[in-house]
Amino acid sequence: MEFSDLQPREVDKAVNMIKAISHPMRLAILAHLQDGKKLNVTEIRNLLQIEQSSTSHHLGILKDKGILTSSRQGKSTLYYIRHKNLTKLVRCISECAID
């Protein structure tokens, strides 16, 4: 499917996803979750050196916009990228930033 084939509702969803990804902390979270990696809130917090409440806030936004999903494993909730193609997008953004 081409971007030009999207209906207005789908375009709005895509725009909201891009807006959510555009925050530096959320982009950093996605970078750590590339290639099918699953992490819990504490692991992400430790990687980014930010408060747990801030980590949870950003994860909530990414999940609400359909970028992340989660699953329970014992007492932990693991977060991961919902669609494989989003990993490609994050990688592309990272590569473009280096140029």
Q: Please report which confidence band the pLDDT of residue 89 belongs to, taking 50, 70 and 90 as the band edges.
A: confident
State residue 3's pLDDT score: 64
Q: Residue 66's closest CA among 5, 16, 28, 3? A: 16
pTM, entire model:
0.85
State residue 57's pLDDT score: 97
State residue 88's pLDDT score: 84
Classified as helix, coil or strand, 72 is strand
Q: What is the rounded average pLDDT of the residues 24-53?
A: 95
- Sign of the CA dihedral with 21 first, then 83, 35, and 39 last: positive
Q: Name the fold adopted by 3-98.
A: Arc Repressor Mutant, subunit A (1.10.10)
Q: Please report which confidence band the pLDDT of residue 30 belongs to, taking 50, 70 and 90 as the band edges.
A: very high
Q: What is the rounded average pLDDT of the residues 74-88?
A: 91
Q: Which two structure tokens, joined as six digits, stand for 64?
A: 């609400």
